[in-house]
A and B are shown apart, each in its own frame.
Chain A
């Protein structure tokens, strides 16, 4: 009686595995967490693989699966961050904040040009000597290091191979 019951349970498990493999029912991995369940899962996939390609009639050597499984057991557990869908109001709040920040940034940059035009001109004029100093520095640098590689490549009309 008990054996018959067990046989019926196994039969229904096999039928479920068959449907899970075909994506025709929601898989319950916990039901496959037995040696028998994994064996059926493996054999059914083997059948499908071989029907699609005889190149996949591969019999991994003894214990390949067991080796991998043991190695995985020795790995630290993985806890991936759970991605929560962003709620609507939160999304609207973030969008509003982004718009306000953008407006504030533009205002911060543009304000001096509207309020202190003369001061800006004076500042620009005062930067000229510094720029001249920079040109001097660059020229001196060229004297030391020679002509830059970009200048060395030039096109000479009429110049042929020598």
Chain B
């Protein structure tokens, strides 16, 4: 089982009418889509509007998704097309292009002359999130830090990590979970009220 299988399981649920499964895909990919769109659209507020539009278009088209490509490759394509339509509708054309490469190694010829998601507030929030995650990582016990790095950065399976760290798979599972929990605990203060279930969810 890999990430593609996880997405396929969620997509299958959505195709059977489970809208909440689509929420999980939104939560998983919203940051990546926003980063992609920030290279095509200047206004940070509009980036979120186009992000929303892209996800809605993806939802409407998901019945036709048959899994020939990875879900996020398909989603990226929809997001890029949505942004292009938005640019055309607003009379804004790119002036330079570059190549965006997604996690699947697929490339998209795209725009690179525009700003990132950069209001002063959002930049501060981004810096706080990155600093908090990095500080929490440094504070982790060595075995937890190594386990989550091998998983998140190297993309290794639990089985491979277990061999590398000479420990049972169950221990790997526990270490990665504990690492995430420790970092998440530090993030709570940074994410603030937006992460309050009663408000946001």
Contact = CB atoms under 8 A, between A and B. Distances in A.
B27 A72 contact: no
A50 B129 contact: yes
A120 to B, nearest CB: 49
A64 B30 CA distance: 9
A61 B122 CA distance: 8
Given A42-B27, A69-B23, A72-B56, A22 B34 contact: no
A27 B152 CA distance: 18
Nearest to B151: A22
B181 A64 contact: no
Interface residues of A, number: 57
Contacts of A59: 122, 125-126, 129, 191, 194
B143 interface: no
A64 B133 contact: no
A66 B17 contact: no
Q: Is the interface of B mostly helix, strand, loop or mixed?
A: helix
A23 interface: yes
Contacts of A49: 31-32
A56 interface: yes
B28 interface: yes
Contacts of B3: 23
Contacts of B181: 14
A60 B59 contact: no
Contacts of B28: 41, 45
A29 B200 contact: no
Interface size class of B (residues with CB under 8 A): 35 or more
A68 B62 CA distance: 15
Contacts of A42: 27, 195
Contacts of B32: 49, 56
Contacts of B13: 29
B40 to A, nearest CB: 15
Given A46-B187, A79-B17, 6 more contacts: A26-B9, A51-B152, A55-B116, A72-B59, A78-B15, A83-B66
Interface of B: 1-3, 5-6, 9-10, 13-24, 26-28, 30-32, 34-35, 45, 48, 51-52, 55-56, 59-60, 62-64, 66, 116-117, 122, 125-127, 129-130, 133, 137, 148-149, 151-153, 157-158, 173-174, 176-177, 180-181, 183-184, 187, 191, 194-195, 197-198, 200-201
13 contacts: A14-B177, A27-B10, A38-B197, A39-B195, A41-B28, A57-B129, A58-B117, A58-B129, A61-B48, A65-B26, A68-B23, A71-B56, A80-B62
